[in-house]
C-alpha cells in the first residue's frame, strides 16, 4: 500500500480530538452528582452538605481516575503513527467504559454509607474501573502487540511488552477491590482511591 | 477565483472539530439515562438495578451506533478537500439527528418492557436511527455526487457511487425495524442492535 | 512590536477550539428539554408525546439558530489573523448569550401553548436571540471596524462595512419578534423560525 | 535527553485541547442552574422568573470568572514549549476546581437570599474560587519557577516572577470574600463579581 493515502488509515489527530472531547465531557459530568440541598428543609445547610460527603470524596477519586486514564491514553496515542478501524473500535470500547463512570460514581456515593446496597454499589464501582482498565489493556494490546507497524517505530519489542505488562498490572488492584466489595464497601473504595494516588504520584517524577 | 482564499470555502478542520464536539457530547449524555435507584426504597438495590436493564442495553446499542456514525462521518470528511455552506448545512442536519438520540434512547428504554406505549417508543427509536441514516446519506450525496470538485480527487465516479450505495443500503435495516415496531418492540430493538454489531465487525477487517 | 511573539496576541486556533466546544455543548444540551413522558400515567404515550410538540419545534428552531450562528462565527474568525484580549472578551460575551439559549428555549416551549405566561416566555426567547445577535454585532464591529490590523488584510473597507451592516440587519427581525410578544406568542416564534430558515437557505447558494 | 522524542515530554497541543474541552463543558453546564418555573403554579411567570434573580446574577459572574480563567490559562500554556507529568497533574488539579464551580454557583444562588444557610453558601462559593485561584497559582509556580527549561525561553526571571506575583495577588480578593462570608453573603458575592469585572476590564487595554 506504500505511502499512498488510504481512507482506512486514520490519522490519530481526530481520534485524539474525539477521545479528548468524550473524556472532557465525562469528567465534567461528575459535577452533576454534587447536589445542592433543598432550601427550606428542616436541617441546616451545614448538616445537609455534611451528609453529602461521599459525593465529594467520590468526585475527587473519579475525577483523578479519569484524569489519569486521559494522561495514559494520551501517551498511548502518541506512540501511534496512525490508526485503523480495529483501533477505533478498541478506543470506542474504552470510551464506553469511561462514560459510564459518572453513573457508577453516583451509585457508589449514594449507597456507601447506607445499611442496604452498599456492597453491591461498591462492587459495581470497582467493577466499572476494572472494565475500564481491561478496555485500556485491550487498546494497548491491539496497538503494541498486534499492530507494531502502526507505531512510530522507536519502541523495541521489550519496551512494548513492558508497557503492556504495566497496563495488565493495573487490573490487579481493581480486581482486588471488586473482590472485597462483599466484605467492606469502605475497603473497596479505599483501594480505588489509593490507586488514583499511586498513579498520580510516580507520574510527577521523570521516568 | 483560482486558489485565492475565499471566505465561503470552509476548511474541513473546524467542521471536524465542531462535529466531533457535538458527537462527543451527545454520546456522553447517554450516561444521564443510567439512573441510580433512590436509596431507602422498599426494593433491594439489586432488584432496583435489575429492573433498569433496558437502560443498560440501550446505552450500549446507542453508544455503539453513535460511535459508528462518528467513524463513518470521519471517513466522509477525510474525503473532502474543503467544505461549502451546503455541506455545513447537511452536516448540521446530521448533527441534529445525532443529538436527538439520547432522547430517543431514553424513551425506548423507558417503555420497551411496558404493556403500554412500547410499540410507539420502539418506532420512535428506529425512526430516529432511520432519520440519522437518511441525513448521513444526504451528506454523502451532497459531497460525493453533487460536489465532486470538493473531493480530494482520488475517487473514481464508480467508487463514489459505491460509497453512496453503501450509505443508502444502511437505511434498509432501520426502515425494516421501524416497520416491525407495531408488531414487536423487541424485534425492532434486536435489529437496531444487530446493525451496530454488523457495522462494528466488518470495520475490524481491512477493506 | 514588529513580528515578535507577544503573549497578548492570541492565535485564533484556541479561540476557535474553545468557542467550538462551548457551542457544541450548548447545542447538544438542547436535547435535555426533550422529556420522556413518565411511564404508567393515565394518558397514552402518543398523547404524552403529542402534548410535548412545542419542545420538538423549539428544539429544531434553536438547533438551527445555534448552528447558523456557529457558521457565521466560523466565517468571522476565519477573517482574523490573530486575536487580542478585547476580542476574547467580545467572544466570551457572545458565548454567554449562546449558552443561555437552552434555558430560553425550554422556557418558551414550556409556556407557548399555556394561557398564562406565554407572552413573557416568547418575549424572553426573542429577547435572548436579540441579545445573541447584538453580541455578534459587537464582535464584528470590534474586529472589522476597530481592529482592521488584525484582519487577514484581504477585505476592503467597503466589504468590511457591508459585513457589519449585514450583522446589524440581523437584529431587526428579532427586535420585531420581541415587540410582537405581548400580542401573540405564536407570531414571535414564527418570526424566530423564519429567521432560521431564511439564513439557512441563502447559505446554500454560493455568494 | 537532547531533542530526541520522549513519551514523557508532552506536546502542549493536547493539554490545551483537553483543558479547553473541560472548561467549555463546565462553563456551559452553568445554564443547567437556570430553571424554568413549573407551568400551572399559582404565581405568575413574571414573579417566578423574578424570584430566580440570584441564579441569573450567579450565571453571569461565574461565566465571566471561568471565561477569565480560560483566557489566563490560555496565556499560561502559550508560554510553555512542552509539558511533563507534573504539569499535567497541576493542570488536572486546576480543572478539578473549575469543574466544581457549577455546583458552588448553584449552591450560592439557591441560598444567598434565604434566612438560613446564606453565609455558608457564600463561603463555599468564595472558597471554591479561592481554591481555583490557588490551583492556578500552583500551575504557574510549577511552570514558571520550577520548570523554566520547559518555557519558550523568551521570559526573563524578573518577568516570570512578576507573572507569578500577579497570580498570587489574585488570591487576595477571594480570601477576603471568604472571610467576609460569616458577616454578609452579599458582600462576599459583590467582591466575587467585582473581581470578574476588574480582570475583564484591564484585559481590554493592551499591556
Write out the three cell numbers for C112.
Answer: 407557548
Chain segment D45-95, per-residue pLDDT in tens = 999 999 999 999 999 999 999 999 998 998 899 899 988 888 999 999 999
pTM attached to this predicted model:
0.92
Chain segment D99-110, per-residue pLDDT in tens = 999 999 999 999
Separation of alpha carbons D108 and D189, rounded Å = 9
Write out the three cell numbers for A151.
Answer: 507505531
For residue A24, the distance in angstroms to the closest alpha carbon of chain C comes to: 10
CB pair distance less than 8 Å for A203 and D5: no
> Is the per-residue pLDDT at D3 higher than 50?
no
* pLDDT bucket at D36, cuts 50 / 70 / 90: very high
Separation of alpha carbons C15 and C25, rounded Å = 16
Q: Which residue among D8, D110, D111 sits closest to A206, beta carbon to beta carbon?
A: D8
Q: Which residue among C24, C203, C206 sits closest to B25, beta carbon to beta carbon?
A: C24
pLDDT of residue D4: 33
CB pair distance less than 8 Å for A45 and D111: yes
> Is the per-residue pLDDT at C47 higher than 80?
yes
Which stretches within B53-117 are classed as H helix?
A: 53-78, 85-99, 101-111
* pLDDT bucket at D9, cuts 50 / 70 / 90: low
Q: Touching C: which chains, 3+ CB pairs < 8 A?
A: A, B, D
Residue predicted with more confidence, B104 or A207 = B104
Alpha-carbon distances, residue B53 vs A166, B47, C36 (angstroms): 34, 10, 17
Out of A19-23, A189-193, C82-86, D202-206, which region has the weakest mean confidence (pLDDT)?
Answer: D202-206
Phi, psi values for residue A84, rounded to 5°: -140, 175
pLDDT of residue C205: 41
pLDDT of residue B5: 36
3-state SS of chain C is CCCCCCCCCECHHHHHHHHHHHHHHHHHHHHHHCCCCCCCCCCCHHHHHHCCHHHHHHHHHHHHHHHHHHHHHHHHHHCECCECHHHHHHHHHHHHHHHCHHHHHHHHHHHCCCCCCHHHHHHHHHHHHHHHHHHHHHHHHHHHHHCHHHECCCCCHHHHHHHHHHHHHCHHHHHHHHHHCCCCHHHHHHHHHHHHHHHHHHHCCCC
Chain segment C110-123, per-residue pLDDT in tens = 999 998 999 999 99
Residue of B nearest to D24 (CA): B21
pLDDT of residue B1: 30
Q: Indicate if the alpha-carbon torsion angle C120, C125, C127, C128 is positive or negative.
A: positive
> Is the per-residue pLDDT at D24 higher than 60?
yes
D-contacting residues in C 19-48 (Cβ below 8 Å): 21-22, 24-26, 29, 32
Out of B48-52, B164-168, C152-156, D169-173, which region has the weakest mean confidence (pLDDT)?
Answer: C152-156
Residue predicted with more confidence, A167 or B101 = B101
pLDDT of residue C8: 55
Q: How many CB atoms lie within 10 A of CB C181?
A: 23
Please report residues of A whose CB lies closer than 8 A to that of D8.
75, 206-207
Report, as ranges of residue numbers, the positions in chain A whose pLDDT lies below 70: 1-10, 202-207
For residue D102, the distance in angstroms to the closest alpha carbon of chain A comes to: 7
Interface probe, candidates C25, C26, C29, C31, chain A, greatest A C-beta count within 10 A: C25
% of chain C residues with pLDDT over 90: 68
For residue B21, the distance in angstroms to the closest alpha carbon of chain D comes to: 8
Interface probe, candidates C3, C6, C103, chain D, greatest D C-beta count within 10 A: C103
Chain segment B42-100, per-residue pLDDT in tens = 789 999 999 999 999 999 999 999 999 998 998 899 899 988 888 999 999 999 999 99
CB pair distance less than 8 Å for A25 and C21: no
Alpha-carbon distances, residue D69 vs C144, D122, D163 (angstroms): 26, 20, 14
% of chain B residues with pLDDT over 70: 92
Query: Is the minimum CB–CB distance between B18 and chain A shorter than 8 Å?
Result: no
A-contacting residues in B 90-149 (Cβ below 8 Å): none
> Is the per-residue pLDDT at B158 higher than 70?
yes
pLDDT of residue C9: 63
CB pair distance less than 8 Å for D116 and A44: yes
User: How much is the mean pLDDT over chain B?
Assistant: 89
**Mean local confidence (pLDDT), C17-24:** 93
Query: ipTM, 2 decimals?
Result: 0.89
Amino acid at each position: 500500500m506504500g505511502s499512498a493515502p488510504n481512507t482506512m488509515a486514520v490519522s490519530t489527530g481526530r481520534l485524539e480530538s474525539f477521545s479528548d472531547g468524550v473524556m472532557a465531557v465525562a469528567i465534567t459530568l461528575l459535577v452533576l452528582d454534587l447536589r445542592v440541598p433543598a432550601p427550606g428543609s428542616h436541617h441546616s445547610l451545614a448538616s445537609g452538605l455534611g451528609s453529602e460527603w461521599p459525593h465529594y470524596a467520590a468526585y475527587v477519586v473519579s475525577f483523578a481516575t479519569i484524569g489519569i486514564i486521559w494522561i495514559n491514553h494520551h501517551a498511548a496515542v502518541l506512540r501511534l503513527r496512525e490508526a485503523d478501524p480495529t483501533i477505533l473500535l478498541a478506543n470506542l470500547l474504552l470510551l464506553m467504559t469511561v462514560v459510564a463512570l459518572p453513573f457508577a460514581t453516583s451509585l457508589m456515593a449514594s449507597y456507601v454509607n447506607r445499611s442496604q446496597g452498599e456492597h453491591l454499589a461498591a462492587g459495581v464501582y470497582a467493577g466499572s474501573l476494572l472494565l475500564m482498565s481491561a478496555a485500556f489493556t485491550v487498546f494497548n494490546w491491539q496497538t503494541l502487540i498486534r499492530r507494531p507497524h502502526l507505531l512510530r517505530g522507536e519502541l523495541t519489542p521489550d519496551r512494548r511488552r513492558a508497557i503492556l505488562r504495566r497496563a495488565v498490572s493495573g487490573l490487579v488492584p481493581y480486581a482486588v477491590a471488586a473482590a472485597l466489595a462483599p466484605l467492606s464497601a469502605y475497603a473497596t473504595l479505599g483501594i480505588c482511591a489509593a490507586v488514583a494516588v499511586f498513579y498520580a504520584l510516580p507520574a510527577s517524577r521523570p521516568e
